[in-house]
Amino acid sequence: MVMKPSELRANVGQLVIMGFTGTEPGTTLRVVLRAIQPGGVVLFARNITGAQQTWDLLDDCRKQLRENAFLCVDLEGGTVDRLRDVIAPAPSAAEVGNTGDRKLFRKHGRVIGECARALGFNTDFAPVFDLGFEPSRPVLTTRVISASPAATVEYTREFLRGLRDARVLGCGKHFPGLGEAKLDTHHELPSIAKTFDAMWREDLVPYRELRREIPFVMVAHANYPAVTRDRLPASLSKKWMTKVLREKIGYKGLILADDLEMGGVLAADSLEGAAIDTLRAGADMFLVCHNEEAVWRTYEAVVREAERDKKFAKYVAQCARRVRDVKKRSRELKGHAPRPSESGVEHLRKEIGALRQQIDRYEAERL
């Protein structure tokens, strides 16, 4: 059966989660959204100036799209907190993890999820599954809670439950693990000299234990030469995404390649090449986070490759079907919160304040 060009383009669009510049829904953004019909959009601090402004921006994005979209944000608390200036700074994973209180872990996820949901988001690229090993401490800082796989599973499982309580999808990152990475993948491609057996016992434990509980797994731009015997980042590696994550671990959710504009992947491939190659390696979706031109370039590159290679077009269709299936099943994408009021935002600030007071009490008891 020959696929219609419009159907192929619609399928490719579903594989893209796009970012953009600006704080208002201008003509250029609307044109890109209407033409590409992306599977999702992601906002960063540069896009966010207020609670109502954020809700309005996301609402306008939704209105340009014919299908439900993942409305995404990176909201971990601590150093990665896009809403700190419009609501209040949320505690970091390390601060909450240090309490050892599972109820507080879940509350952390719920409060962060409520903040995201109230401003119009339905997807949070959190929590971090990386283990807190010594080499990565200058990079990951308080984004991780422990070098212990068991402690990391305990915290992330409860955090994900808290997000679900708030009707927000979560995401495990950064597969297969950046705990030994000395470099920041935003700028460079780290090479992690760790054997597969060691990673199976340590870094991969959260993915193994929580494989049925995470809607997304975000794949890192880091190289693991002892495992793959090449210089490719995991985000372009069929061994990592297809052989390990899909087949050996048995993960059935959506595999998402981290931002293709990051230095870690561009050290190994062109922007357009990375979009094609991450899909060929097993990703379902990819992020292009910074500007509309890069979104266009990756989208058109995948369309051209699918037009040229019918086998690739078939795979694109399978990915789009998985994306749509997740959207259809996810109650998080059914309906959205009303435009936030000042009193609603103040309530969220109080929730964050109460959470921080609980953390402070644990700290005081230890002293």
Measured from the Cβ of residue 59, the count of other Cβ atoms closer than 10 Å reads 14
Residue with tokens 């048995």: 250
Catalytic residue among 258, 259, 269, 284, which? Answer: 258
Phi, psi of 204 (to 5 degrees): -85, -5
Phi, psi of 191 (to 5 degrees): -115, 120
Measured from the Cβ of residue 318, the count of other Cβ atoms closer than 10 Å reads 12
**Bridge partners of residue 172, in order along the sequence:** 217
Residue with tokens 């500007």: 291
Phi, psi of 171 (to 5 degrees): -150, 130
Contacts of 169 (CB under 8 A, 6+ apart): 70, 122, 123, 124, 163, 215, 216, 330, 332
Q: How far apart are CA 181 and CA 164, in angstroms?
A: 30
Catalytic residue among 85, 186, 325, 347, which? Answer: 186
Let me know: does 21 contact 288? Beta carbons within 8 Å.
no
Going by DSSP bridges, is the β-strand pair 75-77/171-175 parallel, antiparallel, or unpaired?
unpaired
Please say if 221 is a catalytic residue.
no
Please say if 258 is a catalytic residue.
yes
Q: Please tell me what DSSP assigns to residue 242.
A: I
Q: How far apart are CA 87 and CA 209, in angstroms?
A: 33
Positions annotated as catalytic residues are 186, 258
